Amino acid sequence: MPAAHRHDRTLLALGRRLRVAEWGEDKAVSPLLVFNGIGMNLELIEPLAGAMAPRRVVSFDMPGVGKSPDPLVPYTPVTMAMTASIVLDRLGHERADVLGISWGGGVAQQFALQHRGRIGKLVLAATSAGMLMAPGSAAALARLFDPGEFTAGKALHRTLAMLTNGGGTGAPVSLNAATPPSPAGWIYQLGALFGWSSVPLLPLLNVPTLVISGDDDQVVPPLNARFLHAMIPNSRLRTIPGAGHLAMLSHTHEFVAELNRFLDPSPSVDSA
């Protein structure tokens, strides 16, 4: 897998101090802005960023996650989309393609609706339309809504292992890079999507969109991906066989191949 050196910095946006990372050196194409899953620190997408090299990848730790300080006030997808736009300004990026993973898929949808002029293509992975969604298994949701499963190191590793397991056909996943969010960070991030739904606005989402789902996702069942695909005009739908909720970790090769076919549909990529 190609190496991609990570450049970390601390940026201030809308009064929030955030740890921001940028990988890759290719300035000929738009960077990929990644909104991560709940409680997931930047280091967890290092394999994804490495596989995307030399394309630039940009992401940041949400408040109270990774090395970003705790949030002082609640935030919403609207304010976090504004924050991401400011981060792109600070980094000198006029436009970006956007990837939203799980929880981050909600913010990615809001960013696409709110900042249409700044987005090239949109990828929604293992995500839903917000509160109006087909629920996952009771066991998986019980862990997601239990702070003890996210804010302690060993418990977090168990939870992430459960999320990546799926059909068990992916490569072994190292979760040593996972660091638990603070209790405040976890609560504020979980509460950010409470009451939020993109359903009424999805038909207005006139952005080239790829929806990706693992066919054994126990947290956000594939029915949610099919719903997004049906509601977003001219979107594409791809399913990764045997993958669970975090296919970008367990099935990185397949996931990145789908990303590249969509983001850079050249003959050489399509034939890979």
List the structure tokens of 82.
């504004």
Which positions are catalytic? 102
| DSSP-assigned letters across all residues of 185-217 | HHHHHHHHTTT-B-GGGGGG--S-EEEEEETT-
Run of H or E residues at 115:
none
Burial 184-222 (b: 16+ CB within 10 A, else e): ebbbbbbebbeebbbeeebeebebbbbbbbbbbbbbbbb
Residue closest to 235 by CA, chosen among 207, 267, 197:
207
Q: What is the dihedral of CA 27, 46, 114, 264, to 10 degrees?
A: 50
Is 9 in contact with 143 (CB distance < 8 Å)? no
- d(CA 251, CA 172) in angstroms, rounded, equals 9
Within a 10 A sphere around the Cβ of 249, how many other Cβ atoms? 25
